[in-house]
């Protein structure tokens, strides 16, 4: 079975995010970028499926600027067999990415597409679901366990208040939650070998799609700075402040 693993280039989770002074966007100058952690879990799961003999080939894919090839290379170092880069300098949002992925699903005919449930940059949590809608394939989102049994896939999903297990027919779309697995570290020899693995570069035009977002980004603001706390002298003063200043009780 061929597995398509979608990955996204995002700001490294260790980096403290800064907003540009003109509030037009997040400042990416000299900021360390990395593979989205949920996508890393997706790649890891694909590699584990291959190690179990369930998957035969892993194709890592991304939609983004030329620099996003670094993240494809990370996926290749972790165990993907080849990569496809849909190169664009447009600001790509969930729908654009899903359209590109849908075209790749058509071309590659994978048995399973595995994606992170969301990217830690804009936290949209949409691409997997949109891809399922565009391709008409069944979806198992927020997976904390994935089991392939013959032609079906059992996905344990993390939902409010517990776990839900769904059975999907293959081919299918899976999005990964945090507890699906603990991704391995890339080994140095594999990092070097990743360079020699094939990487196809395609333009959105070649795929016959447009990826540019139709949503206009108006303003990006950092969260309000936390104010320092105060010491209250009595319970009455506390209740008064909660009522009249914080307005959290009435």
Partner 1 sequence: MHFDFTEDELAFQDAARRVSADVLKANAARYDDTRDFCAESLRALGELGFWSMNLPSEYGGVDISSIGMSLAVEEIAYHCAATCSSLTAHFLATDSVLVGGTEEQKQALLPQCATGEKLGAFALTEPGAGSNPAEMRTKAVRCEQGWHITGTKHYITNGAFADFLVVYAKTDEDLGHRGISAFLVDRDTAGLAFSQPEKTLGLRGSHIYEIGIDCVVPESVLLGKEGAGFATAMEVLDRGRVEVAAMSVGISRAAYDDTLAWSQERVVSGKPLCRHQGIQWMLAEMHTQLEAAKLVTYKAAAARDSGQRFSLESAVAKLFASEAAAKVTDQAVQIHGGYGYIGDLPIERYYRDARITRIFEGTSEIQKIIIGRAITA
Which CB sits closer to partner 1, 185 or 250? 185
Pairing of strands 9-11, 33-35: antiparallel
In the complex, the residues that contact partner 1 under the rule CB under 8 A are 14, 34, 70, 73-74, 77, 185-192, 195
* Least separation in angstroms between CB 35 and partner 1: 10
The C-alpha atoms of residue 77 and residue 73 are separated, in whole angstroms, by 6
Q: Would you say 64 or 171 has its CB closer to partner 1? A: 64
184 or 241: whose CB is closer to partner 1? 184
Distances (CA, A) of 7 to 105, 222, 234, 237, 239: 14, 26, 54, 52, 49
Please, which residue, 51 or 106, has the CB nearer to partner 1?
A: 51
Residue 192: CB minimum distance to partner 1, A: 5
Instruction: Using alpha carbons, select from 100, 133, 118 the residue that is nearest to residue 8.
Output: 118
- Residue number with CB closer to partner 1 (77 or 105): 77
- Closest CB 116 distance from partner 1, rounded Å: 18
Question: Cis (ω within 30 of 0) for the bond into 171?
Answer: yes
- Smallest distance from partner 1 to CB 182, Å: 10
Task: Please provide residue 172's backbone torsions phi and psi, each rounded to the nearest 5 degrees.
Answer: -150, 170
The residue among 66, 70, 98, 72 whose CA lies nearest residue 7 is 72
């Amino acid at each position: 079975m061929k597995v398509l693993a979608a990955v996204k280039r995002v700001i490294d989770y260790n980096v403290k995010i800064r907003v540009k002074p003109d509030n037009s966007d997040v400042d990416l100058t000299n900021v360390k970028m990395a593979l989205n952690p949920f996508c890393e879990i997706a790649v890891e799961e694909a590699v584990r499926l291959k190690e179990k003999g369930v998957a035969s080939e892993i194709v890592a894919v991304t939609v983004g600027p030329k620099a996003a090839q670094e993240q494809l290379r990370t996926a290749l170092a972790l165990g993907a067999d080849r990569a496809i880069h849909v190169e664009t300098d447009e600001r790509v949002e969930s729908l654009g990415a899903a359209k590109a992925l849908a075209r790749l699903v058509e071309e590659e005919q994978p048995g399973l597409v595995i994606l992170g449930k969301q990217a830690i940059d804009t936290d949209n949590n949409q691409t997997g679901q949109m891809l399922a809608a565009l391709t008409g394939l069944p979806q198992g989102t927020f997976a904390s366990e994935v089991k392939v049994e013959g032609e079906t896939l059992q996905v344990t999903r993390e939902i409010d208040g517990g776990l839900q297990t769904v059975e999907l027919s293959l081919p299918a779309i899976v999005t990964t939650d945090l507890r699906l697995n603990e991704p391995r570290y890339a080994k140095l020899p594999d990092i070097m070998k990743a360079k020699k693995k094939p990487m196809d570069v395609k333009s959105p035009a070649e795929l016959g799609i447009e990826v540019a977002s139709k949503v206009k980004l108006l303003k990006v603001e950092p969260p309000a700075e936390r104010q320092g706390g105060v010491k209250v002298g009595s319970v009455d003063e506390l209740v008064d402040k909660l009522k009249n200043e914080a307005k959290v009780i009435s």
